[in-house]
Chains A and B, each alone.
Chain A
Amino acid sequence: AQSVTQPDIHITVSEGASLELRCNYSYGATPYLFWYVQSPGQGLQLLLKYFSGDTLVQGIKGFEAEFKRSQSSFNLRKPSVHWSDAAEYFCAVPGDYGGSQGNLIFGKGTKLSVKP
């Protein structure tokens, strides 16, 4: 069965420092992979997605993620964190093979705090 694991519940980084959020997935086919961000009191916003092709994916707000099939990972990175990046981040895979982005399985999320 498909699943997503985000090992880090809470991460704190200093403003301007680099960031890497971990995501491991279990998926029985070539995976589609997603990263979403949720700011307090807000819904989810898509940061980036991987469907196929180049394993390094660029997203919005300066984020990128790298798909590593051998490690079943899709880690999210940002070279320099801004205070406005403080939020909760969710990794996701489709809930059914070849289905839709409306049916996703989410990890439990990683809460990012940014120190001034």
Chain B
Amino acid sequence: DAGVTQSPTHLIKTRGQQVTLRCSPKSGHDTVSWYQQALGQGPQFIFQYYEEEERQRGNFPDRFSGHQFPNYSSELNVNALLLGDSALYLCASSLVPVMNTEAFFGQGTRLTVV
């Protein structure tokens, strides 16, 4: 059983560019959450998708957007990249957005903005 898979594992972008990160949830999961983890920090919640809609959002600007597809996979898009967007981006999946279902994390995408 494949767990949460994220692609790519690493990428380098230039300031001002746009980037798309992808996440495939664990088999049977229908809810996807995205986190940003800057170096030396804990993960910070960006947003959560369920039933192809953004259900919850953390304190991130509109440059961060997402999408969930009918097969439950998800994309995170970041526009107008800043140096400060350099971080590890983690995806977590769970079965329905309720407290008693465990969220499983992918290994992350390391984004470097130069």
| Chain A residues proximal to chain B, CB less than 8 Å | 4, 32, 36, 41-46, 49, 51, 90, 92, 94-96, 98-109
Contact = CB atoms under 8 A, between A and B. Distances in A.
Nearest to B44: A106
Contact of B100 (A51, A92, A96, A106): A51
A96 B56 contact: yes
Contacts of A32: 99
Interface residues of B, number: 29
Contacts, number: 77
B100 to A, nearest CB: 7
Chain A contact surface mostly: loop
Most chain-B CB neighbours within 10 Å: which of A36, A100, A104? A100
Contact of A102 (B40, B48, B100): B48
Contact of A95 (B58, B100, B106): B58
Given A41-B107, A43-B107, A44-B105, A100 B48 contact: yes
A26 to B, nearest CB: 15
B79 to A, nearest CB: 23
Interface in B65-111: 90, 92-94, 96-103, 105-108
A98 B43 contact: no
Nearest to B6: A43
Interface in B8-49: 31-33, 40-45, 48
B99 A98 contact: yes
Given A100-B103, A103-B33, 15 more contacts: A41-B107, A43-B105, A43-B107, A44-B90, A46-B103, A94-B99, A98-B99, A99-B56, A99-B97, A100-B33, A101-B102, A103-B56, A104-B103, A106-B43, A108-B40
Nearest to B32: A102
A25 B48 CA distance: 23
